[in-house]
Amino acid sequence: MGNKGLQKFGLAAGIALILVWCLLPVVWIISLSFKSSASITNGSPGFFPRDFAGWENYQAVWDNEQFRRAIFNSIGISLIATVLSVILATLAAYAIARLEFRGKKLVLSVALAIAMFPVVSLVGPLFDMWRAVGLYDTWLGLIIPYMSFTLPLAIWTLSAFFREIPWELEQAAQVDGATSWQAFRKVIVPLAAPGVFTAAILTFFFAWNDFVFGISLTSTEAARPIPASLSFFVGSDPFNRPVSLIAAGAVIATIPIVIIVLLFQRKIVAGLTSGAVKG
């Protein structure tokens, strides 16, 4: 086997190892979702369920009013947080990219530091604050923390895209009679669409997958999102958690993310890579 053969073999082996490492938890949880509660209690080994429950677990989870309410909460909270974060981040990033002022690099550095701040360190203060002002166990009480972490990251991401857009394009649009707002909305924003889409995806993923805020800042199903709601699933026996139902709920909660990635994977890759040349 020559050098090229060894390289191809090594590449194939590496890809196979990465796929197994990444897909093993997914395959395992899907296998659990099709097992009956009795088989899990008895310790049924292996990926393939011996006591196949079919779609009964999925039907039972979907018929659960608590689960449907959690799905509704996650969709509403994630979409609102995404739209608000993208709008504010687009305007702020454009101003940072186009205007020259003292401390601009400091603003971007602070924004990135806030985005990387440990989430768990804010749970205690937010819990006391939200209970005092009446935001505990509400949609707004989760939207604000989500935006606090995703907005700085979105500003950092979008500012790199806006810096790549030539200033002359906006000036040409204004020469043709467009106002500053029209030039920004019809010329600049479409050119920065990959960055805007990337910011929206990052915000939506953060809001949809959050567990810490969701379980700490809610006490009822009024605003509890799906990751936190799954931890409250209990069966008839409090000492034996319905693992198969929880696995089925986790699979259902993952489906929207999988659909988004499959439909928009090209735009996601373009958004994550096109801003990496300059900035």
pLDDT at residue 43 in the model: 62
What rounded mean pLDDT belongs to the chain? 82
Q: Which residues contact 191 (CB under 8 A, 6 or more apart)?
A: 165, 169
- Choose between 118 and 39: higher pLDDT: 118
Q: Provide mean pLDDT across the span 21-46.
A: 76
At 60, is the secondary structure helix, strand, or coil?
helix
Find the range with the poorest average confidence among 30-44, 131-145, 222-236, 247-261.
30-44
Asked whether residue 211 carries a pLDDT value surpassing 70, the answer given is: yes
Helix axes 243-263, 65-98, angle to 10 degrees: 40
Q: Where are the domains of the chain?
A: 65-232
- Choose between 246 and 38: higher pLDDT: 246
- CA gap 94, 102 in Å, rounded: 16
pLDDT at residue 46 in the model: 58
Measure Cα distances from 58 to 66, 111, 133 in Å. 14, 41, 39
What's the CATH fold of domain 65-232? MetI-like fold (1.10.3720)
Give yes or no for a contact between 29 and 247, defined as CB atoms under 8 angstroms apart: yes
Asked whether residue 268 carries a pLDDT value surpassing 80, the answer given is: no
Q: Provide mean pLDDT across the span 43-54.
A: 62
